[in-house]
Amino acid sequence: MISILALRAAAFPRSGMLAAMLLALAAGPAAAADIARGGTLYATHCAMCHGASGTPVMPGAPNFRRMEALMRPDMQLLTAIRNGKGAMPGYFGVLRDREILDVVAYLRTLS
């Protein structure tokens, strides 16, 4: 199964993304971000400043409805959320890294 996908990805480079997604699914739920859980966590911890739909309600907070605000790798966003930035508190000890990555996956659905 995996070798067939790898062969397909090599033969048709544009299907590499699909193969990667299938591999992520094959690896099981633990490996894929849980967008629904991210949305629940966002509503609880982030919406009071970033807005229920990603349009900020606090001055200075980035607008998640714009693509540019999130044009950075997940790991950079994770670090900012974990450590805090400017007026934003750090979530280290509040959210596990796995949960923060679920929220980041949810943020990417807003734009």
Exposed / middle / buried, residue 31 (Cβ in 10 Å: 0-12, 13-18, 19+): exposed
Interface with ligand HEC, residue 33, by CB under 6 A: no
**Number of residue whose CB is nearest ligand HEC:** 86
Structure tokens belonging to residue 5: 């996908």
Residue 28 Cβ vs ligand HEC, minimum distance, rounded to whole Å? 25
Interface with ligand HEC, residue 52, by CB under 6 A: no
How far is 45 from 104, CA to CA, in rounded Å?
13
Q: CB 64: neighbour CB atoms within 10 A?
A: 22
**Of 5, 23, 35, 88, which one interacts with ligand HEC (CB under 6 A)?**
88
Residues contributing to the site for ligand HEC (CB under 6 A): 45-46, 48-50, 58, 60-62, 77, 80-81, 85-88, 91, 103
